[in-house]
Amino acid sequence: MALDDCKCYALTRKFLHNEFFPKHRDFEIRVKSSVYRFYRKWIYKPINEHREKETEMQNRKTRLYRQVKVKNNVKINIPSVQAYRNHMLL
């Protein structure tokens, strides 16, 4: 989508907090609340959800590793090993 040229200006943080907001308290509340809602929706919430998923995955991994069991009753059917064992028992 192509946009036309637009002309605008930016207000510095210092000017907003020192000059503008003290004179216009109602505007200050609206701006700060909208910025807070934007931050919560688009920055904090996605990062927090990602952190929770990563924590859950780490917990799954540690639970999985704790449940690993080793079975030692595996029979070896290699004839040379069986012959060696039988020879050692005699």
Mean pLDDT by 10 residues, the chain (90 residues): 78 92 91 91 91 81 56 53 55
Q: Which amino acid is at 73?
A: N
For residue 54, the model assigns a pLDDT of 85
For residue 37, the model assigns a pLDDT of 92
Q: Tokens 């959800």 sit at which residue?
A: 49
Query: Rounded distance, CA 41 to CA 38, Å?
Result: 5
Residues in the chain: 90
**Predicted model pTM:** 0.51
Who contacts 21 (Cβ-Cβ below 8 Å, separation ≥6)? 27, 28
pLDDT single digits (tens) 5-23: 888 889 999 999 999 999 9
Query: Rounded distance, CA 88 to CA 11, Å?
Result: 90
For residue 3, the model assigns a pLDDT of 74
